[in-house]
Structure 1
Amino acid sequence: MPIQGQAAMLLTFDIVEEAIIEHDDWHTHEHLPERLSIPGFLRGTRWVATGGAPRYLVLYEVERLETLASPGYLERLNNPSPWTQKMMLHYHGMTRGLCSVVSSHGHGMGHMGWLLRFKPGQGKDAALESWLSQELLPRLPEQRGLSSAHLLRSGLTPEMTAEQRIRGADTGVDWALLVTGYERAAVAGVGQSELGAAALERHGATGVAGAGYEAVHALTAADMRA
């Protein structure tokens, strides 16, 4: 399946405007290499909003959910580098989900993406998951302009760590859906039609929020070994 591994960490956040250039430098040259050197981390991708907010989406694909509570990962979170400590002060509106990959379809990752975050209504979990995983998502990557579709669901509650204390408490993620493709219009179109708020709400979703993104940098564990 397109997502590497059985789990993923999904982050969305904003950075104060005057720190954006330094943030992207730090995230590319220190932070992603640091994270991808942790055992079990397979690929990290940074995306920037093309419409909507927050500005940033970061997706880490990992071997299994337990990777996101491993000693190696927690050691880094509790011992941030001086540059990381500086950059954490510029974060705001952080959402952070330690998620299981419920369903993942397609071939690879397109560079355009549409992210949806939502919750199932009371008693709607099974029906909503069935519709998404079995009916809708498998056929989306076959459409012109689209590449893949991924359903993520919260699986762990993050611990409070030194990094989080600097930037402030994170908000969790319940369910999230990421559709990727190679044509911006096609990705945005499906995000506003078949995966629009009205369609999701008809099948039991609540609190639907969506935004478009473009992938700007990616790093894999294989890159680090090379």
Structure 2
Amino acid sequence: MSVLGRAALAMWWDMAPERLDDFQHWHAHEHFPERLGIPGFLRASRWTSADGGEGIFVMYELRDHAVLSSAPYLERLNAPTPWSTRLMPHHRHMVRSQCHVLESRGAAVARHALTIRLSPAPGQDARLRGAIAVMAGEAVAAPGIVGMHLLRHEAPPIEATREQKIRGGDAVADWVLVVVAYDPAALGALAASQLAPDGLVSLGAVSGALHGTYTLAQSATPLDMA
């Protein structure tokens, strides 16, 4: 399994241009070191919208799903720093999915990322997962694509945290497909064919999947922050 660990935290939000410089400084120099200092956080990656828009995508790779309800993590979520407290209200349209890793092939980090937020149709979980597993095995051997990873959200048994309350609550994505590539054209071609909305429905997903493309801004492990 190429995602480090057996769980991941996948998040999307919008950040207004006038807040972006402060946000990136905070996220790189306070937030990443803070999160990667928590036991079980194995890698952090941040991408920005490929079209120059306000979208941010962040993925934390975790030892296991229990990290998401661990005491060290909850301590940070319930005691945000002053800098975090100032920026949290500007994380607009927050989607935060606390996931198990269902399938993982190839690299987990590359310059370009496609994310798809989707759900299986009733009774189609196994069929959709199997189809994506087959597709992932083929895609990571194709020119331009280097990794494909399927995640499934499961909320940990915890109460809403201080950070969530500051943001006003978070939406969630049910299943998350992350495809990473060195060639944006190859990523676009995959998004327009097998992973297009109609293609996903034919594999067992419900209609209405949300696609987004992003460019890597930063990736780090705990050793990078030492």
Q: Structure 2-normalised TM-score?
A: 0.95
Describe the shift of the 1:108–1:100 C-alpha distance in structure 2 as closer, same or farther (beyond 3 A). Answer: closer
Q: Deviations over 1:154-206 (max 9, x none)?
A: 12246411111111110012001011011111112112211111110112212
Contact preservation (8 Å) 1:51, 1:211: no
How far 1:53 sits from its partner (Å)? 6.9
Query: Could you tell me which residue of structure 1 aligns to residue 221 of structure 2?
Result: 220
- Counterpart of 2:59, as a letter, is L
Q: Distance in 2 between matches of 1:31 and 1:107?
A: 24
Q: Distance in 2 between matches of 1:171 and 1:20?
A: 22
Structure 2: give runs of 5+ residues left out of the alignment. none
Query: Could you tell me which residue of structure 2 aligns to residue 202 of structure 1?
Result: 202
Say whether 1:149 aligns with 2:148: yes
Describe the shift of the 1:165–1:108 C-alpha distance in structure 2 as closer, same or farther (beyond 3 A). Answer: closer
RMSD, matched Cα: 1.5
Q: Distance in 1 between matches of 2:43 and 2:132?
A: 24
Q: Which runs of 4+ in 1 moved over 3 A?
A: 51-54
Query: Could you tell me which residue of structure 1 aligns to residue 113 of structure 2?
Result: 113
Q: Distance in 2 between matches of 1:54 and 1:62?
A: 26
- Counterpart of 2:223, as a letter, is A
Within a 5 Å distance, the mapping from 1:31-180 to structure 2 comes to 31-51=31-51, 55-107=55-107, 109-133=109-133, 135-157=134-156, 159-180=159-180
Q: Deviations over 1:96-124 (max 9, x none)?
A: 00000000001452211110011111111
Worse-matched range after superposition: 158-167 or 86-95: 158-167
Contact preservation (8 Å) 2:23, 2:87: yes
Q: Could you tell me the percent identity over the aligned residues?
A: 37
Q: Distance in 1 between matches of 2:47 and 2:116?
A: 14
Q: Deviations over 1:119-156 (max 9, x none)?
A: 111111111111112x2111111000111000000122
Structure 1: give runs of 5+ residues left out of the alignment. none
Describe the shift of the 1:6–1:54 C-alpha distance in structure 2 as closer, same or farther (beyond 3 A). Answer: farther
Paired residue total = 224
- Counterpart of 1:192, as a letter, is A
Contact preservation (8 Å) 2:3, 2:107: no
Q: Structure 1-normalised TM-score?
A: 0.95
